[in-house]
Every structure is written in structure tokens, then in C-alpha cells.
């Protein structure tokens, strides 16, 4: 499944007050739209972001702090803006449509929508209504409404691209969200769990609530990893996922990728879940000669299961040779692809031990790594 995200930012948002449309007002150091877009930019399963702007905003600096995106001019209604965004999507089979005024969306909500799209043509997050509902005037209660089966809709709302595009192109209704357009076209839409914190900025009081939510203590964990492998016969070494030609090889039960092993242990450490040896015992013959990306992918998967995203990785290789510098870009890219991260969130660097110790004598390579995990 290839997924694109459409961020709808063409509205004027006058009820929120202020001199600027609400999506371009500042919240916790960035525009609201930038906060809304970042989780999609960081998500490994989102390949394209489309930002739909009001025509008056396109040639302004208002959106300078937003992540890279395909820029599209919006229409006079939300439906026209979404349709323009849908037509700008390339090389995707599914789309996530998100309001730029929802700055508190998380990777977990995005995951739930994407997972539901594996078996449904549409999916959207929602929160069940728990308050008693009244009918009334401004001053008097005139009746009650059964709350059973009622939900408060949120975004991102996800769909198979083709059916939703057709639904918008042929729609003859006025709708406030894409679920309404999809259902009018006969598409089933699954409900996934939303989040009370995934608020939409609508009135001035919402800014204070969002600021308070963003100031809450985040779940941040750091872990360290250390690994050593000795040299033996061979003609290459594996380092951080890259095959480096050399007149010797590193010896180990697996492919002996000392850098990747240190990074893997750093993630396990941040999670408090032991080390590689506990998850992949060297006494088990099935791991003999195994590619180390298997271990790293396992650690990354555990982090995701626990609700964490990996913020950054820093790995230092300690050796006299081979020379690491020429291979650093390839190592960063290889690690990024395995971990589903942007390459600029990964550091691979090298140092020597000034000819001291086993690395200084050229007997092997050591690696140290630090992993930072964040639970939004």
C-alpha cells in the first residue's frame, strides 16, 4: 500500500480570532499547520504530502515552517480543496485527508487508519460520545438525544484513492468531511479509535488547551549499545548495513555487523528489553550467519508496539581500518531504510583509539550507539 497525505489548509478560520487564519497562527513555537503535518512527514508509510493552500496564502511566507510538500491551490469550499489535493497525488493507492487545524494528531492514530485500509475502502478515527445530549435553545433545554451509537469525527480520514476521487468528482451534496462524501457514493467506512487530545482548533480557548497538551511531559527514553567483533579471514566487513571491501572480515555468529548490533542493543536498552543475545541466542543455529537487519527490524518493531517512535540514532565506529568516511552516506541511508527513518535522524561516525587497545592494534572493531525514543 502506497499512502499519501493531503493536508487541507485553505480555510480562513475566523472563529478562532487573530489576525491570521488559525492554521498559520503560532502554537508552541511553530504554526498549527506545521504541527499537523509533521507526524505525516515522519511516518514511514506516508510517501507524499500534499498541502492545499488558499490562493491568497500561496505566495506568502506563512507556510515556510511546514515540512516539504506538493503545493496545491484550494477552492472556495472544502470539497473543492480536497478534490484539488486528490488530483495532485502521484504514485499512491490510498490517501489520508487531514485538517491543518488538528495539530495533535499522532503516529498511533495514523497507524490505526492505515491498518484499517488494508480491509476497508475507507477508515476514520472517532471518539464515542459520552456526555448527555440535549436539544435546546440558547437559554432552555427542550429535549434529549440518545447518545448510543454517536461518535465525534476526527481526521485523518483515509480512503482508497480511486473510489474517493470518483466520489468527489461526482458528488452533489454539501459535506463537512470526506466520510460524508464517501458514504454518499456507497463506500463503507470503518471507525478506528480516535484520541481525546486530537483536537481541532476552532475557538480562542482551543489554543490554550493545545498549548497545555503540548507542554505535557513527553515519554522520552534513551538507550546505549556497545559491541565488539574481532577480525578473521575474509575479504569484506559488514558495517551499518553496508558491505565494505577489506582484506579481512569480522567474526561472529551472525554477519558480525558491529555497528548495527550496537544500534539494536541501544533500542532494546531504551525499551528495557535486554539485548540481542536474549532475543536471538547465539546458541540457536538458526541465527548462524544471519543478516543483522533482522535484529534491528525486530527492535524497531518492539518500539512501535510499545507506542514509541525513534527520534534519532547516533553510532560511533572505533577502528584503525577500514576507512569509514567514504561509506558514511551509504551507511546512513541503509540504516534509515531499515528503520523507516529520515537519513538526517541517523548519525554514523568513526574514530580511532590512537593505536591503543585491541582496536589500536588492528585486532577488531568496536561500536557505541545511542538511541532516543519518544512516545507522543
Classify 234 as helix, strand or coil: coil
Distance, in Å, from the CA atom of 297 to the CA atom of 293, rounded to the nearest integer, reads 6
324 shares a domain with 186: no
229 shares a domain with 195: no
Per-residue pLDDT band for 18 (boundaries 50, 70, 90) equals confident
Q: How high is the pLDDT of residue 211? A: 87
Element (H, E) at 312: strand 309-318
Residue 330: give its domain's CATH number.
3.30.1330.50
Distance, in Å, from the CA atom of 368 to the CA atom of 355, rounded to the nearest integer, reads 18
Q: Is the pLDDT of residue 83 over 70?
A: yes
- Whose cell is 544500534? That residue is 263
DSSP code at position 215: H
Q: Is the pLDDT of residue 329 over 60?
A: yes
Classify 271 as helix, strand or coil: helix
pLDDT tens digit sequence for 339-375: 999 899 999 999 999 999 999 999 999 999 999 999 7
Last-in-domain residue among 184, 215, 246: 215
14 shares a domain with 148: yes
Q: Report yes or no: 53 and 88 within 8 Å, Cβ to Cβ.
A: no
DSSP β-ladder status, 122-128 and 189-193? parallel
275 shares a domain with 203: no
Distance, in Å, from the CA atom of 63 to the CA atom of 238, rounded to the nearest integer, reads 42
Q: Is the pLDDT of residue 13 over 90?
A: no
258 shares a domain with 194: no
Q: What percent of the chain has pLDDT over 70?
A: 99
270 shares a domain with 206: no
Residue 370's closest CA among 240, 241, 219, 226? 226
End-to-end CA distance of the chain: 25
Q: Report yes or no: 255 and 249 within 8 Å, Cβ to Cβ.
A: no
Q: How high is the pLDDT of residue 229? A: 96
211 shares a domain with 63: yes
Distance, in Å, from the CA atom of 18 to the CA atom of 206, rounded to the nearest integer, reads 13
* Domain range enclosing 175: 3-215
260 shares a domain with 210: no
Element (H, E) at 269: helix 258-271
Half-sphere exposure of 181 (CA within 13 A, CB side): 24
Q: Report yes or no: 93 and 1 within 8 Å, Cβ to Cβ.
A: yes
Highest mean pLDDT among 18-27, 163-172, 281-290: 163-172
Per-residue pLDDT band for 1 (boundaries 50, 70, 90) equals confident
Cell of 185: 457514493
pLDDT tens digit sequence for 196-239: 999 999 999 999 999 888 877 567 899 999 999 999 999 999 99
Name the average pLDDT for the chain. Answer: 93
Q: How many domains does the chain have?
A: 2
- φ/ψ (deg, to 5) at 277: -60, -30
Distance, in Å, from the CA atom of 335 to the CA atom of 341, rounded to the nearest integer, reads 8
Q: Greater confidence, 213 or 79?
A: 79
180 shares a domain with 53: yes
Tell me the sheet residues that pair with 99. Answer: 8
Tell me the sheet residues that pair with 372. Answer: 222, 312
Three-state SS across 32-50? HHHHHHHHHHHCCCEEEEE
Half-sphere exposure of 162 (CA within 13 A, CB side): 3
Q: How high is the pLDDT of residue 285? A: 87
Residues 327-345 as b/e (b if ≥16 CB within 10 A, e otherwise) read: bbebbbbbbbebbebeeeb
Per-residue pLDDT band for 91 (boundaries 50, 70, 90) equals confident
pLDDT tens digit sequence for 98-150: 999 999 999 999 999 999 999 999 999 999 999 999 999 989 999 999 999 99
Tell me the sheet residues that pair with 374. Answer: 220, 309
242 shares a domain with 177: no
Residue 108's closest CA among 346, 266, 272, 303? 303
Per-residue pLDDT band for 376 (boundaries 50, 70, 90) equals low
317 shares a domain with 244: yes
Last-in-domain residue among 168, 186, 215: 215
Last-in-domain residue among 215, 233, 258: 215
Sign of the Cα torsion 278, 376, 48, 191 reads positive
Max Cα–Cα distance, the chain, nearest Å: 86
Q: Report yes or no: 21 and 54 within 8 Å, Cβ to Cβ.
A: yes
Residue 53's closest CA among 80, 28, 18? 80
Cell of 332: 546512513
Residue 66's closest CA among 98, 106, 100? 100
Residue 148: give its domain's CATH number.
3.90.550.10
pLDDT tens digit sequence for 360-369: 999 999 999 9
- Averaged pLDDT for residues 270-287: 91
230 shares a domain with 195: no
Amino acid at each position: 500500500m502506497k499512502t499519501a497525505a493531503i493536508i487541507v489548509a485553505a480555510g480562513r478560520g475566523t472563529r478562532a480570532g487573530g489576525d491570521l487564519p488559525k492554521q498559520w497562527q503560532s502554537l508552541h513555537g511553530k504554526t498549527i499547520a506545521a504541527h499537523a503535518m509533521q507526524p505525516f512527514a515522519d511516518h514511514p508509510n506516508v510517501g507524499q504530502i500534499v498541502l492545499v493552500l488558499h490562493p491568497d496564502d500561496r505566495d506568502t511566507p506563512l507556510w515556510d515552517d511546514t515540512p516539504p510538500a506538493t503545493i496545491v491551490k484550494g477552492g472556495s469550499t472544502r470539497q473543492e480543496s480536497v478534490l484539488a489535493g486528490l488530483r495532485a497525488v502521484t504514485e499512491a493507492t490510498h490517501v489520508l485527508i487531514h485538517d491543518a487545524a488538528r495539530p495533535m494528531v499522532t503516529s498511533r492514530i495514523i497507524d490505526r487508519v492505515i491498518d484499517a485500509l488494508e480491509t476497508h475502502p475507507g477508515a476514520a478515527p472517532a471518539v464515542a460520545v459520552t456526555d448527555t445530549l440535549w436539544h435546546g435553545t440558547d437559554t432552555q433545554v427542550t429535549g434529549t438525544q440518545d447518545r448510543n451509537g454517536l461518535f465525534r469525527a476526527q481526521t485523518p480520514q483515509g480512503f482508497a484513492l480511486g473510489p474517493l476521487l470518483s466520489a468527489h468528482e461526482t458528488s452533489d451534496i454539501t459535506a463537512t468531511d470526506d466520510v460524508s462524501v464517501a458514504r454518499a457514493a456507497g463506500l463503507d467506512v470503518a471507525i478506528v479509535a480516535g484520541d481525546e487530545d486530537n483536537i481541532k482548533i476552532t475557538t480562542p480557548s482551543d489554543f490554550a488547551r493545545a498549548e497545555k497538551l503540548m507542554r505535557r511531559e513527553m515519554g522520552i527514553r534513551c538507550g546505549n549499545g556497545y559491541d565488539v567483533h574481532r577480525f578473521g579471514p575474509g575479504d569484506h566487513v559488514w558495517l551499518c548495513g553496508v558491505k565494505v571491501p577489506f582484506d579481512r572480515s569480522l567474526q561472529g555468529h551472525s554477519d558480525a555487523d558491529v555497528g548495527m548490533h550496537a544500534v539494536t542493543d541501544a533500542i532494546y536498552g531504551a525499551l528495557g528489553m535486554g539485548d540481542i543475545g536474549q532475543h536471538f541466542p547465539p546458541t540457536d543455529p538458526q541465527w548462524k550467519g544471519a543478516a543483522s537487519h533482522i535484529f534491528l527490524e525486530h527492535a524497531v518493531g518492539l518500539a512501535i508496539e510499545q507506542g514509541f517512535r525513534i527520534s534519532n540514532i547516533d553510532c560511533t565506529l572505533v577502528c584503525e581500518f577500514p576507512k569509514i568516511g567514504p561509506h558514511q552516506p551509504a551507511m546512513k541511508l541503509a540504516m534509515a531504510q531499515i528503520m523507516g527513518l529520515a537519513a538526517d535522524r541517523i548519525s554514523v561516525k568513526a574514530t580511532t583509539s590512537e593505536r591503543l587497545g585491541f582496536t589500536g592494534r588492528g585486532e577488531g572493531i568496536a561500536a557505541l550507539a545511542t538511541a532516543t525514543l519518544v512516545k507522543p
